[in-house]
Structure 1
Amino acid sequence: MFLLALTWAFVSKSLSGTYMNSMLTQIERQFDIPTSIVGFINGSFEIGNLLLIIFVSYFGTKLHRPIMIGIGCVVMGLGCFLISLPHFLMDRYEYETTISSSSNLSSNSFLCSGNRSQTLLPTHDPSECVKEIKSLMWIYVVVGNIIRGIGETPIMPLGILETGMIIGPLIGLMLGSFCAKLYVDTGSVNTDDLTITPADTRWVGAWWVGFLICAGVNILTSIPFFFFPKTLPKEGLEDNADVAKSDKEEKHQEKAKEEKHFLPFMKSLSCNPIYMLFILISVLQFNAFINSFTFMPKYLEQQYGKSTAEIVFLIGMKSHDFLSSTFPSHKDMISSLYNLPPICVGYLIGGLIMKKFKITVKKAAYIAFCLSLTEYLLSFFNFMMACDNFPVAGLTTSYEGIQQPLYEDHKVLVDCNTRCSCLNKTWDPVCGDNGLSYMSACLAGCEKSVGTGINMVFQNCSCIQSSGNASAVLGLCNKSPDCTIKLQYFLIVSVFGCFIYSLSAIPGYMVLLRCIKSEEKSLGIGLHAFCTRIFAGIPAPIYFGALIDRTCLHWGTLKCVVFNRRIYLGLPAALRGSSFIPGIVILILMRKVQLPGEIDFSETEHSEMKLTEKKGEHKNVHGSPEVENDKDLKTKL
């Protein structure tokens, strides 16, 4: 029953974690905040986790474990509720548009007309790529995510169970896809009056609904833990009370010895070049992976022209979260659910190879390095799976449909719309029947409209040069079918990459365990996890988000339409590439030194043979009464 409850706790925690990452784009639009703030929100989970991890790890064995896990689930639920709170405290979301549902649409005041005088506002210089934060309500989201990180802390060190990590992300992404299709103010506004769809960059889904669901699930999950005893009864405990007492005293002495030698252990680890280089490699690779996975929905959405709901659904239909399965100590983060099957197969094959061929730690290091390098080189194919920018007249292309470089002197006012007295600051795109998008119906030279809401059609558009009736509809034009094919290739490359990388995971972890002394393992693994969180988990999303803010094409009210793939793909590639330099140094050092934990399988077999011979001698000399003691000895050995 305890394992069942713990599995459900893992489901609920990974559910809320995955849902949080899938809704980052919606939160960014809701609060109109820079991507760097979004990265800080994402990293705030790690901050909350680190605030309590040392306390829980140290006192967890002394306190009531089930109750601590139950309290953690409740705290996670409260954090999720706090994240959703701004929706009930803020005014309704208003997206930027030239069309007002409250205005008289028959007047066509938002269309091309030379009968009114309006001040034409210049377009913004892309170097002024800064968003003005209009509301501080996002602080609730940060605090809620910190609290969620605090609540998750007791679950990880007190119960390591990964089964729920498979189901939770799948449910979380399905929930995210559903909520992204609902309008943020659904129930309080008439959605028939909306002039945007879920595919529009101004659309904000009902992100708060999912957090309320996550809050309820986490709180309900906590209930069974308050009814479990502090310890579970063990079979034969009464008959072996003295043995149990002796084991307890031995563990206490070992723990006291570890505490006494904390500083010497720290000094020994810091002077271990292979261990320190391994930490450096982990920090560099974690920075690359965290950046890629945190902003993957944003990248796929803007690169391949898909809506948030479509992207989240596509990710959810495939498989599980990469880092949480590769590095169980790391937090939940969205990756691709299509990655889980190849990862599981990779782990299985990697483990079988290690056991079948009795790979030594030095050979394991070479295997891990070569496989990781192969996957790294394979990832460069993603640079070829890129789509062109949305064709927007006056921004990414000319009004004749000729593509032009970004950040050059864009001209949104031309002969066909100069007489229209358009506002060239507002982003309200329409798609012409010539396949070209325009910043607004007015800038497309449209003179009249038919219909209401998202079904509105604009006609007599002087800037649209086509063989049709020169009409336009709301929203950006779809990207070419080739772009969808490239997205499929991107996912296929990711699947193969995850399989190859998972093959290297077990040999790589073996190097970490064998490069430190046995008495230093606990501290060494903890320090490794601590460094990756401090130097990767927290800062990586923040600085990566800041770079995204500076590499987007902006105009008007500083709305971003293009996500620079060179940064998204290039920076992680540079970080991972630099990690191979300390990797090469480790391979060189391992050829010259004997690792503290290195024991060849041949030596192990020889020791087992000697132990068997001694066992036979011991049995002949002392007779049958010693058999049980000999079994105990063998068990301990």
Structure 2
Amino acid sequence: MSTEKKKEPCCSKLKMFLAAMCFVFFAKAFQGSYMKSSVTQIERRFDVPSSLIGFIDGSFEIGNLFVIAFVSYFGAKLHRPRLIAAGCLVMSAGSFITAMPHFFQGQYKYESTISHFSASVNGTENVLPCLTNASLAQDSEIPTVESQAECEKASSSSLWLFVFLGNMLRGIGETPVMPLGLSYLDDFSREENTAFYLALIQTVGIMGPMFGFMLGSFCAKLYVDIGTVDLDSITINYKDSRWVGAWWLGFLVTGGVMLLAGIPFWFLPKSLTRQGEPESEKKPGAPEGGEQERFIPDNNKHNPPASKPAPVTMSALAKDFLPSLKKLFSNTIYVLLVCTGLIQVSGFIGMITFKPKFMEQVYGQSASRAIFLIGIMNLPAVALGIVTGGFIMKRFKVNVLGAAKICIVASVLAFCSMLIQYFLQCDNSQVAGLTVTYQGAPEVSYQTETLISQCNIGCSCSLKHWDPICASNGVTYTSPCLAGCQTSTGIGKEMVFHNCSCIGEALLPYTNMSAVLGQCPRKSDCDFMFKIYMAVTVIGAFFSAVGATPGYIILLRSITPELKSLALGMHTLIVRTLGGIPPPIYFGALIDKTCLKWGLKQCGGRGACRIYDSGAFRNAFLGLIYALYSSSYLLFGLLYNRLSHREKKQALKDQLKAPEQDSCGVSTTNGNASSAIVKCENPDQETTI
């Protein structure tokens, strides 16, 4: 009988499924990372606080939880490729729905008083912005009661609900991809190929966030109403805190990519022949007894008949669920793993959601540059860390206790890099009346009254608008009126303000009494500090990712095989529910507390924050991350103690069994010497006497 295996075709259906899985993992990571990169733009476009944008961002996890039970229990019994295809279709629809508000809203109108006096005179020089600004600004900031409802309707302020719904649909559609796709691949591939296929899928998937953040950076530089407005008439640029990029454009792109990713799954079969194993080789059943059955090595435990669960009724499933759940949560190691993962994921989700804003407010980077740098520097470091962790596990054949040591060491090193970030600080941007006095002395104020000074008291300026101008003394003033400027020249972005009385009041060196549009850049030493910060974050991202694979191995090896599916499902459920939804909300609420100047909505009321107290922002943002990660290390210590205790107990059991297993002797069956098995030195080698 020939033992030569039939050569597998280069384009088998399994390989087509593998290629489709690689593409869909890339597409969903591409889509998810673009959403993260667009958080700041969406916040500004809909004039919502950080706490609400955190809630919108968490809607993905909410959608995921809606169908996770259905997918976990019934997905494997249905047509898995088509379920994945349907999920891709839903994710694509979610992206398109997210972009819809742009087409329902009118043109973006950023808060500005400059247009009132820049359009008042057609000549090259406009007159008295300090005086003409006053009455017009006051009229524009408080609409009448009768027009309030109409204004709210016209501004479409509640259209952020479409973004919430679209993100939730993405969460619903993403649910079947991983569990059904990976189980399908595992069922029909060779056992030795499965690990390679999974690594290939994850490697391609890691490229998704890189492209997602780069697309986010590109769209953030494009004006939101590109193609419908004259860009020369826009008085702000992409570095301004009022700027809104073309956030909607990226969702159309990611939705289209996801739609393409789902097409191959519609044409794949419900089941396949196991890779390299023709139908004729499948064994219908095991032998009914005898010595052959007794001494057959357990090499076929992964064959399809054994790996496919027997059909069960809903009542039997429900009856077995609670006892299994009780048994699972009586496993102390599993409970500690869930709690540790929950806390660390909470810190990570909060950090990645608001990291671009942190880089923007603390280091003076534009939103587009912050997003771009995360994509090209931090994410490759994460990919390298995951590969390194897997290599260490395989190269040194690390056991569970060794994996726990790797996790702890890697996590502590990553935490040390985060501690270093606290000391890499820049001074607050110098804004008169908010972070410095009009005389130039450092003084942070959350009160709007401090915007009034002797130099602008006669102008009757609006205190609510944010129209920053940069003076020659390096100080930013919140509006030309509050800077006491008397005249202006130029139009659009080229506008210059002259005879600004407040510039002379500051005890700082200046070249003239003029100011230009926009916020002043940070001091030069801040750029150097930012470079060190990026280097530290890249190192921290690498160490954090090194512990990912060992952590997953600990989870898999700490539970009994019959509870493995339930354990993974409950771990995902708890971590996604409590670690994915609340953190962006409470991180955002804490960040909102550090806002120095809120924007003004089109219909009045508080809009998005324009500038934060960078010191308080850093303390709140990093402090919350430190608190979460520090508490996780206490649980890590308990987990290591339990794993060590279990390892010692197992070693003791093995030691007690050692004399019986290691001795060289003869065992007989039913007293028949002809069936005796001699086992010497190599227990796998069996010799029949």
Residue in 2 aligned with 1:228? 268
Cα distance in 2, alignment partners of residues 115 and 165 from structure 1? 53
Residue in 2 aligned with 1:159? 181
After superposition, the Cα gap between the structure-2 partners of 1:42 and 1:28, relative to the gap in structure 1 and judged at 3 Å, is: same
8 Å contact kept, 2:393–2:403: no
Structure 2 residue matching 1:553: 3-state secondary structure: strand
C-alpha displacement of 1:463: 1.6
Alignment of 1:221-620 (within 5 A): 221-234=261-274, 235-243=276-284, 248=305, 251-253=308-310, 261-320=320-379, 337-353=380-396, 355=397, 358-359=398-399, 361-407=400-446, 411-465=450-504, 466-555=509-598, 557=600, 558=606, 559-562=609-612, 564-593=617-646
Task: Out of 425-434 and 404-413, give the one that drifted further.
Answer: 404-413
After superposition, the Cα gap between the structure-2 partners of 1:397 and 1:410, relative to the gap in structure 1 and judged at 3 Å, is: farther
C-alpha displacement of 1:260: 5.7
8 Å contact kept, 2:37–2:356: yes
Alignment of 1:75-114 (within 5 A): 75-100=90-115, 103-105=119-121, 106=123, 108=126, 111-113=129-131
Opposite residue 575 of structure 1, the aligned amino acid is L
Structure 2 unaligned spans of 5+: 1-15, 142-151, 183-200, 287-302, 601-605, 677-683
Cα distance in 2, alignment partners of residues 145 and 134 from structure 1? 19
Q: Which structure's CA Rg is the greater one?
A: 2
Structure 2 residue matching 1:187: 3-state secondary structure: coil
Residue in 2 aligned with 1:627? none
Cα distance in 1, alignment partners of residues 407 and 306 from structure 2? 40
Cα distance in 1, alignment partners of residues 362 and 174 from structure 2? 34
C-alpha displacement of 1:584: 2.4
Residue in 2 aligned with 1:173? 213
Residue in 1 aligned with 2:169? 147
Q: Per-residue CA shift, 1:237-282, capped at 9, x if unaligned?
A: 3312443899537744597898764322211222222221221111
Q: Per-residue CA shift, 1:460-493, capped at 9, x if unaligned?
A: 2222134412211111000112212222222222
Opposite residue 60 of structure 1, the aligned amino acid is G
8 Å contact kept, 2:113–2:137: no
8 Å contact kept, 1:345–1:499: no
8 Å contact kept, 2:378–2:538: no
C-alpha displacement of 1:215: 1.5
Residue in 1 aligned with 2:195? none
8 Å contact kept, 1:339–1:494: no
Give aligned pairs, total: 594
8 Å contact kept, 1:43–1:538: yes
Cα distance in 2, alignment partners of residues 140 and 592 from structure 1? 52
Cα distance in 2, alignment partners of residues 109 and 380 from structure 1? 52
After superposition, the Cα gap between the structure-2 partners of 1:311 and 1:612, relative to the gap in structure 1 and judged at 3 Å, is: farther
Cα distance in 2, alignment partners of residues 260 and 242 from structure 1? 32
Structure 2 residue matching 1:554: 3-state secondary structure: strand
Residue in 1 aligned with 2:188? none
Opposite residue 248 of structure 1, the aligned amino acid is P
Opposite residue 569 of structure 1, the aligned amino acid is L
Cα distance in 1, alignment partners of residues 77 and 107 from structure 2? 49
8 Å contact kept, 2:26–2:207: yes
8 Å contact kept, 1:170–1:319: no
Cα distance in 2, alignment partners of residues 467 and 544 from structure 1? 40
Residue in 1 aligned with 2:234? 194
Cα distance in 1, alignment partners of residues 549 and 521 from structure 2? 43
Cα distance in 2, alignment partners of residues 83 and 119 from structure 1? 34
Task: Out of 162-171 and 172-181, give the one that drifted further.
Answer: 162-171
C-alpha displacement of 1:24: 0.7
CA RMSD of aligned residues (A): 3.6
Residue in 2 aligned with 1:216? 256
8 Å contact kept, 1:285–1:576: yes
After superposition, the Cα gap between the structure-2 partners of 1:2 and 1:119, relative to the gap in structure 1 and judged at 3 Å, is: closer
Cα distance in 2, alignment partners of residues 537 and 457 from structure 1? 47
Residue in 2 aligned with 1:126? none
Structure 1 residue matching 2:488: 3-state secondary structure: strand
8 Å contact kept, 2:498–2:514: yes
Opposite residue 634 of structure 2, the aligned amino acid is I
C-alpha displacement of 1:231: 2.1
Cα distance in 1, alignment partners of residues 664 and 577 from structure 2? 48
Cα distance in 1, alignment partners of residues 110 and 376 from structure 2? 30
Cα distance in 1, alignment partners of residues 246 and 278 from structure 2? 54
C-alpha displacement of 1:58: 2.4
Task: Out of 181-190 and 265-274, give the one that drifted further.
Answer: 265-274
Cα distance in 1, alignment partners of residues 36 and 484 from structure 2? 40
C-alpha displacement of 1:606: 8.1
8 Å contact kept, 1:46–1:149: yes
Residue in 1 aligned with 2:225? 185
8 Å contact kept, 2:105–2:156: no
After superposition, the Cα gap between the structure-2 partners of 1:111 and 1:485, relative to the gap in structure 1 and judged at 3 Å, is: same
Opposite residue 172 of structure 1, the aligned amino acid is G
C-alpha displacement of 1:441: 1.2
Q: Per-residue CA shift, 1:214-240, capped at 9, x if unaligned?
A: 111111222222222222344443312
Residue in 2 aligned with 1:49? 64
TM-score (norm 1): 0.84
After superposition, the Cα gap between the structure-2 partners of 1:606 and 1:219, relative to the gap in structure 1 and judged at 3 Å, is: farther
After superposition, the Cα gap between the structure-2 partners of 1:363 and 1:73, relative to the gap in structure 1 and judged at 3 Å, is: closer
Opposite residue 249 of structure 2, the aligned amino acid is V
8 Å contact kept, 1:391–1:436: yes
Cα distance in 1, alignment partners of residues 134 and 578 from structure 2? 57
8 Å contact kept, 1:350–1:503: no
Structure 2 residue matching 1:561: 3-state secondary structure: strand
8 Å contact kept, 1:56–1:154: yes
Cα distance in 2, alignment partners of residues 115 and 375 from structure 1? 51
After superposition, the Cα gap between the structure-2 partners of 1:250 and 1:548, relative to the gap in structure 1 and judged at 3 Å, is: closer
8 Å contact kept, 1:449–1:458: yes
Structure 2 residue matching 1:229: 3-state secondary structure: coil
Opposite residue 300 of structure 1, the aligned amino acid is M
After superposition, the Cα gap between the structure-2 partners of 1:281 and 1:495, relative to the gap in structure 1 and judged at 3 Å, is: same
Cα distance in 1, alignment partners of residues 663 and 594 from structure 2? 65
Cα distance in 2, alignment partners of residues 416 and 36 from structure 1? 37
> Are 1:138 and 2:160 counterparts?
yes
Residue in 1 aligned with 2:42? 27
TM-score (norm 2): 0.78
8 Å contact kept, 2:236–2:243: yes
Which of the numbers 3, 7, 11 marks the counterpart of 2:26?
11
8 Å contact kept, 2:98–2:166: yes
After superposition, the Cα gap between the structure-2 partners of 1:258 and 1:63, relative to the gap in structure 1 and judged at 3 Å, is: closer
Task: Out of 175-184 and 499-508, give the one that drifted further.
Answer: 499-508
Task: Out of 256-265 and 387-396, give the one that drifted further.
Answer: 256-265
Task: Out of 21-30 and 305-314, give the one that drifted further.
Answer: 305-314
8 Å contact kept, 1:303–1:387: yes
Cα distance in 2, alignment partners of residues 567 and 300 from structure 1? 14
